Amino acid sequence: MLPSFKKDTSIRIPDDHHFLFGRQLASSTRMLSAIARRSFSSATRPFRVLGIQQVAVGGLNKDALKNLWVDTLGLTYKSSFRSERENVDEDILEAGRGPFAVEVDIMQPIDADKAPKVHVPQLNHLGLWIDDLPKCVDSLTKQGMRFTPGGIRKGAAGYDVVFIHPKGNDAF
Contact 19, 9 (CB under 8 A): no
- 132-167 per-position pLDDT tens digit: 999 999 999 999 999 999 999 999 889 999 999 888
All domains in the chain, ordered by first residue: 1-41 (no CATH), 49-130 (3.10.180.10)
Which residue pairs from 141-150 have beta carbons closer than 8 angstroms and sit at least 24 positions apart in sequence? 144/169, 144/171, 145/169, 145/172
The verdict on pTM exceeding 0.85 is no
Confidence of residue 37 (pLDDT cuts 50, 70, 90): low
Q: In this structure, what are the phi and psi dihedrals at residue 56, rounded to the nearest 5 degrees? A: -115, 125
pLDDT at position 5 over 70:
no
Q: Which residues contact 119 (CB under 8 A, 6 or more apart)?
A: 58, 59, 60, 107, 108, 109, 112
